[in-house]
């Protein structure tokens, strides 16, 4: 079959027709000229996730040799302790899960509610806003900054480093841009190192302080290198994808006839809607895994040394798993089986915090922005990218109380 270029911005603007084409005709699709196989059906993605011995994590963190040299010469080589393979993975995750899982996230509920209140107070009387810049972007970055233990005064720099960190996911960067990204991330690494030293001198109640006191498997302290790479992983995951998720949820809520009114009247459905919106518009479209031994998926042989790209967003719209997968269904029985946070041992460590932020944000918006609607002139343009999916902007209007 002929599939559109998956790196084509036109394809990335609306992935879903291509995903359906892949699921129906080439569910294990080798990208032309590469050793990368795109896996698009739910059952096949789940197979990869459940067989970590065959499909381990560990795809190269470096896209160019020049970028690699920047890290090795001026910073710390890239590593991802929170994504390594078993058995070490469980040891690292045990150090952070209690802060971010469904139960641990409740520790930050007051912080989230206070941040939401401050943000909405700044524009709710205006009757209109570009909601990404006004709300969806600053909410998670302010929350994760506080949770990790960074000074709020540093948010502008932190956001700059975060945006550079995720830029390579768009694909197609020049070597010069790859080097610039590496320089920005190394700058972030040195910032985290300085914060580690400060937390050791003056401990506070935050994740970074806890990691300076933590031990790996109860046997040794974490190295600065481990803490740096754990914290940069948590910071990026704690703000970028939640921004994307909140924005997409608002877009879906306002584009579907009657959905806003249903959610405003039946608040118990907000939690289900958050899950449905992540299924429909997964912030992380997919991730890579290595192939450690000759294998096959769906009858397609895949040799050792290949790479599989497990496409969560396609799996989330697989009609073999989800009935009427392109529709919002607030009574969907398997609503939490989506893969927006992945599944299994390597599921996103920040899933609980992200879910809590999204739920609290939607409840507050339903409370405080009456008659919310999409503003005229929205283009619904998405940021180009192979891995991440995010609206560039979303203009909304409402009728302030008293008008």
Q: What is the pLDDT of residue 1?
A: 52
* Average pLDDT value for the chain: 92
Q: Is the pLDDT of residue 316 over 80?
A: yes
Domain assignment present for residue 10? The answer is: no
- Residue 211 resides in a domain: yes
Residue 209 included in any domain: yes
Whether residue 37 lies inside any domain: the answer is no
User: What integer pLDDT is reported at residue 82 of this predicted model?
Assistant: 65
Tally of structural domains, the chain: 1
Question: How much is the average pLDDT of 170-194?
Answer: 91
Does residue 35 surpass a pLDDT of 80? Answer: yes
Question: Which pLDDT score is estimated for 403?
Answer: 66
**The CATH number of the domain where 78 resides is what?**
1.10.630.10
Question: pLDDT value at position 336?
Answer: 93
**What's the pLDDT score for residue 345?**
66
Reported as a pLDDT band with limits 50, 70 and 90, residue 383 is confident
Q: 7-11, 31-35, 151-155, 345-349: which has the minimum mean pLDDT?
A: 345-349
Distance CA 214, CA 211 (A): 5
Q: What's the average model confidence in pLDDT over 313-326?
A: 97
Q: Is the pTM of this model over 0.95?
A: no
Is residue 351 assigned to a domain?
yes
Q: What does the H/E/C string look like for the chain?
A: CCCCCCCCHHHHHCCHHHHHHHHHHCCEEECCCCCEEEECCHHHHHHHHHCCCCCCCCCCCCCCHHHHHHHHHHCCCCCCHHHCCCCHHHHHHHHHHHHHCCCHHHHHHHHHHHHHHHHHHCCCCCCEEEHHHHHHCHHHHHHHHHHHCCCHHHHHHHHHHHHHHHHHHHCCCCHHHHHHHHHHHHHHHHHHHHHHHHHHHCCCCCHHHHHHHCEECCCEECCHHHHHHHHHHHHHHHHHHHHHHHHHHHHHHHHCCCHHHHHHHCHHHHHHHHHHHHHHCCCECCEEEECCCCEEECCEEECCCCEEEECHHHHCCCCCCCCCCCCCCCCCCCHHHCCCCCCHHHCCCCHHHHHHHHHHHHHHHHHHCCCCEECCCCCCCECCCCCECCECCCEEECCCCCC
Q: Which residues lie across from 382 on neighbouring strands?
A: 391
pLDDT tens readout for residues 44-88: 999 999 998 999 887 555 678 898 899 999 998 887 776 667 777
Would residue 80 count as lying in a domain? Answer: yes
Domain extent for 147: 51-283+333-397
Residue 325 lies in a domain: no
Identity of the highest mean pLDDT range in 11-25, 170-184, 226-240, 359-373: 359-373
> For 216-225, what is each residue's pLDDT tens digit?
878 889 999 9
Looking at the domain assignment, is residue 358 inside a domain?
yes
């Amino acid at each position: 079959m002929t599939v559109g270029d998956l790196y084509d911005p036109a394809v990335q603007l609306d992935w879903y027709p291509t995903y359906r084409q892949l699921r129906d005709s080439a569910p294990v699709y080798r990208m032309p000229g590469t050793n990368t196989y795109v896996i698009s059906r739910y059952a096949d993605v789940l197979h990869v996730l459940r067989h970590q011995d065959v499909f381990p994590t560990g795809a190269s963190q470096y896209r160019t040799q020049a970028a690699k040299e920047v890290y090795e010469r001026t910073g710390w080589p890239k590593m991802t302790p929170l994504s390594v393979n078993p058995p070490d993975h469980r040891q690292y995750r045990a150090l952070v899960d209690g802060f971010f899982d469904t139960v641990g996230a409740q520790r930050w509920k007051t912080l989230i509610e206070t941040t939401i209140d401050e943000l909405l107070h700044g524009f709710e009387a205006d009757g209109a806003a570009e909601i990404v810049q006004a709300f969806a972007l600053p909410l998670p970055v302010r929350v994760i900054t506080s949770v990790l233990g960074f000074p709020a005064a540093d948010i502008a720099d932190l956001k700059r480093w975060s945006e550079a960190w995720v830029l390579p996911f768009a694909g197609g960067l020049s070597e010069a841009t790859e080097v610039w990204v590496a320089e920005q991330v190394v700058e972030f690494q040195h910032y985290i190192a300085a914060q580690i030293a400060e937390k050791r001198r003056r401990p506070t109640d935050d994740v970074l302080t806890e990691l300076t006191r933590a031990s790996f498997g109860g046997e040794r302290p974490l190295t600065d290198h481990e803490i740096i790479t754990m914290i940069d992983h948590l910071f990026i995951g704690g703000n970028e994808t939640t921004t994307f998720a909140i924005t997409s949820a608002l877009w879906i809520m306002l584009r579907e006839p009657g959905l806003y009114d249903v959610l405003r009247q039946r608040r118990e459905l907000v939690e289900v809607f958050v899950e449905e919106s992540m299924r429909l518009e997964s912030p992380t479209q997919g991730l890579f895994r290595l192939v450690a031994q000759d294998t096959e998926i769906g009858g397609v042989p895949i040799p050792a040394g290949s790479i599989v790209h497990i496409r969560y967003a396609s799996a989330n719209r697989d009609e073999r798993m989800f009935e009427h997968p392109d529709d919002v269904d607030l009574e969907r029985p398997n609503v939490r089986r989506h893969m927006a946070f992945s599944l299994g041992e390597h599921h996103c460590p920040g899933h609980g915090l992200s879910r809590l932020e999204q739920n609290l944000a939607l409840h507050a918006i339903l409370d405080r922005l009456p008659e919310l609607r999409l503003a005229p002139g929205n283009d619904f343009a998405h940021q180009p990218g192979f891995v991440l999916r995010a609206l560039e902007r979303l203009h909304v209007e409402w009728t302030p109380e008293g008008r």
